[in-house]
Structure 1
Amino acid sequence: MDSQTSQSPQPSQTPHTFQVDLRGLVDLLSHHLYSSPRVYLRELLQNAVDAVTARRAEQPGAPARVRLHTDREGGTGLRVEDSGIGLTEADVHGLLATIGRSSKRAEGLQAVRSDFLGQFGIGLLACFVVAERIRVVSRSARTPDAPPVEWTARDDGSYTLRTLPHEARPEPGTTVHLVARPGAAEWLAPRRVLELARDFGALLPYDVRVDGEAVTDLPAPWDRPYPSPANRRVALARHCHGLFGFTPLDVVDLSVPLAGIRGVAYVLPTAVSPAQRARHRVHLKGMLLTERAEQLLPDWAFFVRCVLDTDSLRPTASREALYEDETLAAVREALGARVRAWLTDLAAGDPERLSAFLGVHHLGVKSLARHDREMLRTMLPWLPFETTDGQLSLEEFAQRHPVVHFTRTVEEFRQVAPIASAQGIGVVNGGYTYDCELVEALPSVLPGTSVAELDADTVSAHLDRVDPAEEPALADFLAVARSVLDPLGCDVSLRAFHPLSVPALHLDDRATRHERARAEAEARADELWAGILGSLRGGAPRARVVLNHLNPLVRRISSLKDPALVGTAVQSLYGQALLRAQRPLRPADSALLNRAFIGLLEWATHEEGGHA
């Protein structure tokens, strides 16, 4: 059997095409792709501007104008005229044969399509957000002998197409007529149309007018010539207030020529949370693309709001956001570098403005300095930290103390700060956002600096021991105190330290707290989990209560002869030390405090009764 007879016959293949439900597509594009009805005007402006761009690419001297005419009486219609390249009957047929294919991809327009803002087909259908009927009358500039063509579509998905007499439109270009759908007339009202046109089209390169009023306002505020830098700051502050509603602390120029980006970043005058997503205004070739761009700058630059124009960034399908790609990533890095350079320039030449900025936005700079050692080195003299010496920079603090101790939580700092300060121990509060990481990175930018986490042993080592001559008389007191607190997993020691007003100091560390949490979980767990948690038991570190022998109250308690009363008093001191350290109270701690309180009340009332 030869090879031909051994092969199975191939089934015949008949090509098919998708059947497009135009009505469903209209509903999808006009009601689900876009976030707000307001975008209909942006789509109309985009189509008009792109048409003008296409014509001027072929006819450089062609007029460049877009005119919007509202129905000032009824407010139910809108007419948009442009002097663009126009459409022939074949163009319209080609456009409608494949919904979504851009008319700008037609032959002869390939060379300039990178200058276009959108796609005529999809953008026009977006007008059904507000219109029940769209009528387009167009005459091609490329084939001046071709008659004008009229395309009329309704929101039910139906459309008609016909040619018109030459006098119906003598000049090349396109006119789009909209008739408002019920309930949407407000979007075609004269004041609303002018407001939207200025919002979307203020930076467009052509003459755009609404009922004769100018829309475009060029050059952009950041590119205009001003008599002086002070005049420029005032003008840009006014521009910021109009766009964002605040007067900026400062203005950062954003220019990335290779990416075709020009604009400014306005520095917020009040502090904001780093978790709050910054929203920026981005224009694409002059047309406002979005006022909610969130990924334009690095996360650390949450203290600025940007407005810029670009010709390189890629919009999403709805053209209401930026497409995340390599170009956007490169632009984000470049804009972040501009903000970083602005901070460096302030540090070098304008310390007063830098101090004013850091007084509000030190958190953002600390976030940047975590990953940028050069920025940390630059900002060290300026960034404020809470320390036992007050608000200081790390650089100044390191000059005062041979070892920079730090705590990892605010509670730990609050607990030990008065004691450490009195003993001459320098401690930085590392409990605030980013502070701990920056303190640990200090040796990398200040060689020779010693940094250590403050622990219970370090504090204890700096506290004075009691006079050996007094220790025998205190032995019974310490024995009672240790027997009372031992069941709570807490050791007791007696030291002499300042300030005198602190009777007892509760000390623990992360290992102690971890072991305490593990033991509590083990006590509550069933047999299986108790066994697992038991296997995780470490070296059983214990918390420590340090009683202050210099405190008058502790001295009086240590001289009491009644062991029960001594125990009750020590329990009270333990509870007070816990509360001072802002430690959460376990059930056993709460029960102990209740017993101590009741015991002291009984003792006080018993003494009162005895006197009576």
Structure 2
Amino acid sequence: MAASPQQRFQVDLAGILSVLSEHLYSTPTVAFRELLQNSTDAISARTSLQPAHRGAITIEWIDDKESPTLVVEDNGIGLTEDEVHLFLATIGGSSKRTGKQGDREKFIGQFGIGLLSCFVLSDEIVLITRSAADEDAPAVEWRGRGDGTYHVRALETKHPAGTRLYLKIKASQTKLCSPRMLKDWFSHYGEYLPISIELHAGGQSGRITNTEAPWDNGGLPAMNQKAMWEAGTGYFGSEFIDMVPISSAKGGLAGVAFISVQSRSLHSKPRHRLYLKGMLLSDHTEGIVPDWAVFVNVLANTTKLQPTASRESLMEGPALDDTREEIGDCILAYLRRLAVSDEAKLAVIIQTHHLALKSLALEDSDVLHFFAPWFQFETSQGRMSFEEIRRQDSPRYCISVDRYRQLAPVAAAENRCLINAGYVFDAELMSALAAELPDLGLEEISAMSFTDQLGELATGKAHLFEDLVEAAAAALRPHQCRVEARHFQPATLPVLYVQNDAAHSKRALEQSQEDADGFFSSLLGDISARFAEDAYHVCYLNAANPLIQRLTNVKDRQRLLVITEVLYLQALLLGQYPITSKETRLLSDGLLQLIEMGVSTH
């Protein structure tokens, strides 16, 4: 079968223009940015040919009720008629990307589609341009329309080198073009461009560009400290602990990282305000700092990182990866300087942003050694820094919050240092620190190994507790819980209940089983049964407790059964273990029985 002749795609140019101008960008106001970008790049191209040239952009708002018009004029490189056909009538054609206007790194735009955003504001773009590179070339008028058609004609009248663009604003977009809105939006995008930009609107004239920036861009001097701080708080609407100068040679980036006064989740996405060669790229840029640096807001300018086609975010790649790493190095170097110059401020930063810094410390042993002494942990002897923990004798840590809360009173009473490592990253940190500092004797402790250290009963007194232990064992046999009598502190604690991981999982499954429907209840029951063989429950009666001592003299076995079951259930509650509805009923019934027994004795 003969192959069919080669065919070409049929392109709906008007539809393409609609997609590019109305859907590529997040807001119609980016048309103002694209206008500034094209003019700025044209000036950069002319400066490459004429280094002494001083670029300028003039924006004028003609507030004609019948035909309101925005005029943007620059004294940049301009275009010849051939270049107009090549670049303005070819979607994706760009003199900056092809290299026809000099070093592409000097330009903001690269994709040749920015001018199309103007169709959001106007149905027709009128552009008059004359090339500064070809003195004999005449001025050219180009009219482009949203239906995909255009017209070009050479002009006989004299025009200065550069470009003047006219937009008749659509009725639906005039709200964006009041004098105040124009000043706000052109300032928003172009405030830090290193060229003169003047706006004439509403009978008033004013300069758009600022004379200072948060970085030295070769054209504007860097802001002073006070102005920089005000810029950060104004842009990000927040208070900060401090600000850190940042830079990246790989990304051509310079700016400031503001350290938040508020703690942030590791999953938060902080706002960063990033400029590209002085033009605002986005005030919601993501991915410019390492993942751990969630506690900073960055205000910076880059001259090397590449934007996406919409110029609202950055292209991923090795250069951006290197930039993140260099910014992270700047922040870490600042924190190391604080350790020498301002320990109080460093302590505040680490306390506020400990989660982010702990996650970083787990990735780098050098960082771990630096930050570890400052990290704070809950212990049985009060809140301590790791530096203080290092001075304790044989510190131990618990990887479960509930288990820690159960064992902490005993550890505190016996003057043992038990660390709560049940919070995010703490268990991993303790394990890493134990490996890095083997002489410290830092070890994880389970409930079972902890209770192995509980005091044994004196030989001459063990027999006094035999009947009580036997009665308690009978009462707790349905709960599959062993009973032992030990001597431990605090003496105010009558019973200590402990379980291993298998028992903990089994109990949690049993509680979930109560709330599940028939199918899932049966499924959870099967899973729970798998833990039964390895489950280990022990209820320790405290021989140092006055109540337990008095119970050794109780001869009424039924009374002992009820009392020990109530004490067991109370121990579950004190240990913050989940209890089933059946156990809740048992506790209620047991308390009622004790009341009746108390009443019946009078």
Q: TM-score, normalised by structure 1?
A: 0.89
Q: Distance in 1 between matches of 2:347 and 2:400?
A: 26
Alignment-derived partner of residue 12 in structure 2 = 21
- The Cα of 1:216 is off from its aligned counterpart by 2.1
Q: What CA distance in whole angstroms lies between the structure 1 residues aligned with 2:264 and 2:168?
A: 44
Aligned to 2:540: 546
Q: Which residue of 1 aligns with 2:265?
A: 273
Alignment pair present for 1:475 and 2:466: yes
Superposed displacement of residue 530, structure 1: 8.3
Separation in structure 2 between the aligned mates of residue 276 and residue 96 of structure 1, nearest angstrom: 42
Letter in 1 for 2:167: L
Residue 527 of structure 1: how far off its partner (Å): 12
Relative to structure 1, the CA distance from residue 492 to residue 77 in structure 2 (aligned partners, 3 Å threshold; closer, same or farther) is farther
Contact 1:47/1:120 (<8 A) preserved: no
Structure 1 counterpart of 2:199, from 184, 189, 210: 210
Q: Structure 2: which 5+ residue stretches go unaligned?
A: none
1:3 aligned partner: none
Code of the residue aligned with 1:548 in structure 2: it is N
Distance 1:72 1:96, change over 3 A: closer
Q: Does residue 322 of structure 2 align to residue 330 of structure 1?
A: yes
SS of 1:387's partner is coil
Report what 1:194 is aligned to: 183
Map 1:98-113; keep pairs closer than 5 Å: 98-105=90-97, 108-109=100-101, 111-113=102-104
**Cross-structure match for 1:573:** 567
Aligned to 2:171: 182
Percent sequence identity over aligned pairs = 36
Q: Identify which of 343, 354, 362 aligns with 1:362.
A: 354
Q: The residue matched to 1:145 in structure 2 has which SS?
A: coil
Matched-pair contact (CA < 8 Å) for 1:256–1:262? yes
1:79 and 1:178 in contact (8 A); partners too: yes
Q: CA deviation at 1:336?
A: 0.9
**1:172 and 2:143 correspond:** no
Indicate yes or no: 2:382 matched with 1:425. no
Provide the residue aligned with 1:396 in structure 2.
388
Matched residue, 1:461: 452
* Rounded Cα–Cα distance in structure 2 between residues aligned with 1:107 and 1:460: 76
Asked whether 1:560 is paired with 2:554, we answer yes
CA distance in 2, matches of 1:173, 1:586: 81
SS at match of 1:441: helix
Give the letter aligned to residue 213 of structure 2: A
Change (3 A) 1:356 1:114: same
Q: Please state how far the C-alpha of 1:370 moved relative to its aligned partner.
A: 1.1
How big is the shift at 1:12? 8.7
Deviations 1:571-592 (A, max 9, x none): 2111111111111113442332
Cα distance in 2, alignment partners of residues 508 and 473 from structure 1? 26
SS at match of 1:270: coil
Does structure 1 residue 501 correspond to structure 2 residue 486? no
Tell me, yes or no, if structure 1 residue 514 matches structure 2 residue 505: yes
Q: CA deviation at 1:276?
A: 0.6
Aligned residues of 2:96 and 2:104 also touching (Cα < 8 A): yes
Change (3 A) 1:517 1:258: closer
Alignment partners' CA distance in 1, 2:526 and 2:596: 44
Q: For residues 143 and 224 of structure 1, do their structure 2 counterparts lie closer, same or farther at Cα, with a shift above 3 Å needed?
A: closer
| 1:594 to 2:585 alignment | no
Q: 2:367 aligns with which of 375, 398, 401?
A: 375
Following the alignment from structure 2 to structure 1, what is the Cα–Cα distance between the partners of residues 348 and 506? 45
Range with bigger deviation, 550-559 or 235-244: 550-559
* Amino acid paired to 2:493: V
Q: In structure 2, how many angstroms separate the alpha carbons of the residues matched to 1:222 and 1:105?
A: 27
Counterpart residue type for residue 397 of structure 1? I
Note the alpha carbon deviations across 1:516-535, whole angstroms, 9 max, x for none: 45678899778996897489
Question: What is the one-letter code of the residue matched to 1:268?
Answer: S
> How many residue pairs are counted as aligned between the two chains?
591
Q: Which amino acid in structure 2 is aligned with residue 344 of structure 1?
A: R
Shift of 1:434: 1.3
Q: Which residue of 2 aligns with 1:237?
A: 229
Shift of 1:364: 2.0
- 2:383 aligns to what SS in structure 1? strand
Rounded to whole Å, the distance in 2 between the matches of 1:233 and 1:62 is: 32
In the alignment, the residues of structure 2 paired with residue 390 and residue 526 of structure 1 have an alpha-carbon distance, to the nearest angstrom, of 43
Q: 1:301 to 1:139 in 2, by over 3 A?
A: same
CA contact (8 A) 1:507 1:545 kept: yes
Deviations along 1:87-133, one digit per CA (max 9) or x if unpaired, are 22222222355312113346732x32222111474111112223333
Deviation at 1:450, TM superposition (A): 1.7
Please state how far the C-alpha of 1:415 moved relative to its aligned partner.
1.4
**Is 488-497 or 444-453 further displaced after alignment?**
444-453
Instruction: Write the distance in 2 (CA, Å) between the matches of 1:461 and 1:515.
Output: 23
- Give the superposition deviation at 1:72: 5.0
CA distance 1:530–1:77, shift in 2 (3 Å):
closer
Which string of whole-angstrom CA distances, capped at 9 and with x for unpartnered residues, describes residues 380-420 of structure 1? 3222111122222223212212x221111222222111111
Q: Contact 1:261–1:311 (CA<8 Å) still a contact in 2?
A: yes
Shift in CA distance, 423/232, structure 1 to aligned 2, threshold 3 Å:
farther
**Contact conserved, 2:403 with 2:447, CA < 8 A, in 1?**
no
User: Which position in structure 1 is the counterpart of 2:345?
Assistant: 353
Answer yes or no: is the 8 Å Cα contact 2:194–2:217 preserved in 1.
no
**Greater Cα shift, 457-466 or 40-49:** 457-466
Alpha-carbon distance in structure 2 between the residues aligned to 1:538 and 1:569: 26
Query: 1:265 and 1:522, CA in 2 relative to 1: closer, same or farther beyond 3 A?
Result: closer
Shift of 1:265: 0.4
CA distance in 2, matches of 1:506, 1:45: 72
**1:184 partner amino acid:** Q
Secondary structure in 2 matching 1:174:
strand
Letter in 1 for 2:594: L
Alpha-carbon RMSD? 2.8
1:442-453 map, 5 Å: 442-453=433-444
Larger mean Cα displacement after TM superposition, 567-576 or 45-54: 567-576
Q: Distance in 1 between matches of 2:396 and 2:359?
A: 21
Q: Which residue of 1 aligns with 2:131?
A: 140
1:153 aligns with 2:147: no
* Contact persistence 1:508–1:544 (CA under 8 A): yes
Which residue number in structure 2 is paired with residue 32 of structure 1? Answer: 23
Give me the whole-angstrom Cα distance separating, in 2, the residues matched to 1:256 and 1:527: 57
* 1:63–1:234 CA distance, 2 compared to 1 (3 A): closer
Change (3 A) 1:250 1:284: same
Q: List per-residue Cα deviations over 1:28-87 (Å, max 9, x = no partner).
A: 012211111221111111111011111111222333011111235759431111111112
Closer, same or farther: CA 309–77 of 1 in aligned 2, 3 Å: same
Is 1:288–2:280 an aligned residue pair?
A: yes
Equivalent residue for 1:440?
Answer: 431
CA contact (8 A) 1:233 1:251 kept: no
Distance 2:528 2:449 in 1: 30
Distance in 2 (CA, whole Å) between partners of 1:53 and 1:199 is 21
Which residue, out of 66, 89, 94, partners 2:81? 89
Change (3 A) 1:162 1:559: farther
Structure 1 portions without partners, runs of 5+: 1-7
CA distance in 2, matches of 1:447, 1:517: 35
Query: Deviation of residue 328 (structure 1)?
Result: 0.6
Q: CA deviation at 1:259?
A: 3.0
CA distance in 2, matches of 1:526, 1:379: 46
Q: Is the 8 A contact 2:214 2:256 kept in 1?
A: no
Write the distance in 2 (CA, Å) between the matches of 1:277 and 1:243. Answer: 16
- CA 1:141 to 1:221, structure 2 compared with 1: closer, same or farther past 3 Å? same
Q: Is the 8 A contact 1:222 1:236 kept in 2?
A: no
